[in-house]
Amino acid sequence: MASPSHRRSLRTRRALVVSAAVVAAGVGAGVVVMNANAGTVDLYHQTLAAKDGWASSGTGTTGGTKADAAHTFTVSTRAQLVKALGSATDTTPRIIKVKGTIDANTDDAGKKLSCADYASGTGYSLSSYLKAFDPATYGTSKLPSGTQETARAAAQSKQAKNIVFKVPANTTVVGVPGTKAGISGGMLQIQNVDNVIVRNLSFADTEDCFPQWDPTDGDDGNWNSEYDSVTLRGATHVWADHNTFTDAPHLDSANPEYYGREYQVHDGALDITKSSDLVTVSRNQFTNHDKTMLIGSSDSEPSGKLRVSIHHNVWKGIVQRAPLSRVGQIHIYNNYYDVTTLNGYALQYSINSRAKAQVVAADNYWKVPSTIKVSKILSGDGTGAIAGSGNLVNGTATDLVAAYNAASSKDLKTTVNWTPTLTTGLESSASAVKNLPTSLATTTGAGVLS
C-alpha cells in the first residue's frame, strides 16, 4: 500500500507512536505512527506524494523505501553515519535513521576535534596567513598563492574528510522522532546521484575553520567559506522536508573582521547547484543565516535543469538567497518570510532571479517591519523573471515585482516560459495565505514529524 501523504494536518492528527521497543531494537527497526485519518504511517518508508513539486516528476522520489533489513541503520555517532552511508557509488537502497545529534567534528572514537586539530601538521596559522596576504603588501588584484595558502587548503581538506558526508543514490536519511535528531557542524553532500530523501533533521553551525581570502570578490574583497549544511551538486530527484537549518549557536555576529571584512565561516544552508534537477524543498525552517539557498552556481549553467519547487517553508532571520535563482524553472509558493532583523541578521533581499531564471513566486506571506521598504524583498540582474500573484505583505495583497522595478534600474521581467502543474498542497485563497504565519509555525522544521 502506498504511504499516505504527509500533507494532512499535524495539529489535528491523533498519533500513537509505537516507538520505545522499535527504537531500542536498532538496525531494521522502524517507528510506526497511527494516524486517525489515514491508518498506519511508516515515517521511514514514506515517499514524496504525487504532483508534490518538481521532485515528483518522472520516476518520482522514493529514497530508500526498498531497503532491506541489512541496509536499514540507526546511527548516533559520526562513525556510525559514515559506515551506514557506505560508498557514494553504491546504489543499493538504504534507510538511515539518525537518533540524537551527531557532532561531525569528532574522530572515529567520538573525541571532539577542534580547528587546531585540523591545522596540526599542515603549517597553517591564521596569524601567518593574515600577514602573508595583507592587502597593503600583497595587493588586491590576485587570489592568495604560496606557502600559507597551500597550508590553508591542506587544513581545509583535513576538515572536509571529517565533516563531509557523501550520500549515495536511493537513500533516505531521517531523524528519529523525539530524539532531537540532527547533524552539528557537518555537510550532507548529494552529488551526481538520484533519488534521495532528507527529513526531520536539524542542521546547525556548519562551520569552515579555514575561510579563504579573496581580494577580488566585490569592491573590498571577501572571506569565503566552503561548506553548506546540505549541498546538491548534479543531483536529481531530491526531497528535503521538515528540516531546520541554523547557524546557532555560532551566529555571524560573533565573527571577527580581518582586512575590514567579516571572517565568514558559514556558506549555504541548502544549495542546489551544478545542474541539479527535480528538487522539492518543503516544510523546512531556515533561520539565523546569511547566504541561505543558492540555485545554480554560475550564470553560465546550461538550461533545461535546475527545476526546483519550494513550498510551505519558514524563513526568519535570513539575510539573502531565499533563494537566489539562476537559469532554471523555480516555483516558490506558500512560504512565510519574516524579514525582521534577528540576532544581527538583517535583510538584503529574499528572492533573487538572475541569469534568465524563470521564477513563479505566488501565494507567499511576508512580515515586513516599517523600517524595511517592500522594494527590498526582490532582487535581480535585469535578465531574470518573477511571475505570480497572491503574495501578501503584512496581510495586504502586494505586487512585489512592481515595487522592486519602481526602485531599480535593472527591472525584473514579469512573464515566464512555463506554467507550474505539480502543485499538490497549494493554498491559493487569500484567507489561507493570511493564515500561513500561524499554520506553518507548528507544522514546519525538524521534530514535528512523528
- The reported pTM is 0.91
449 conformational bin, left if phi > 0, alpha if psi -120 to 50, beta if neither: beta
Per the CB < 8 A criterion, the answer to whether 220 and 260 are in contact is yes
Highest mean pLDDT among 5-9, 14-18, 31-35, 116-120: 116-120
114's grid cell? 577542534
The two most distant CA atoms of the chain are separated, in Å, by 69
Q: How is residue 262 written as a grid cell? A: 567579516
Whether the pLDDT of residue 39 is over 80: the answer is no
| Amino acid found at 448 | V
Confidence check: pLDDT of 44 > 50? yes
Condensed to tens digits (0 to 9), the pLDDT of residues 367-388 reads: 999 999 999 999 999 999 999 9
Residue 283 bears catalytic tag: no
Contact present, 172 and 199 (Cβ < 8 Å): yes
Which contiguous run of DSSP H or E holds residue 367?
strand 365-367
pLDDT score of 244 more than 70: yes
CB 366 within 8 A of CB 351: no
Catalytic residue, chosen from 307, 321, 326, 354, is: 321
- Give the distance from CA 421 to its chain's centroid: 24
- The 10s digit of each residue's pLDDT in 53-62 is 999 999 999 9
Q: With cut-offs at 50, 70 and 90, classify the pLDDT of residue 30.
A: very low
Strand partners, 311: 282, 333
Query: Is the separation of the CB atoms in 96 and 171 below 8 Å?
Result: yes
Which residues, including other chains, have CB under 8 Å from residue 334's CB and lie 6 or more apart?
311, 312, 363, 364, 425, 426, 427, 433, 436
Closest among 323, 317, 365 to 340, alpha carbons compared: 317
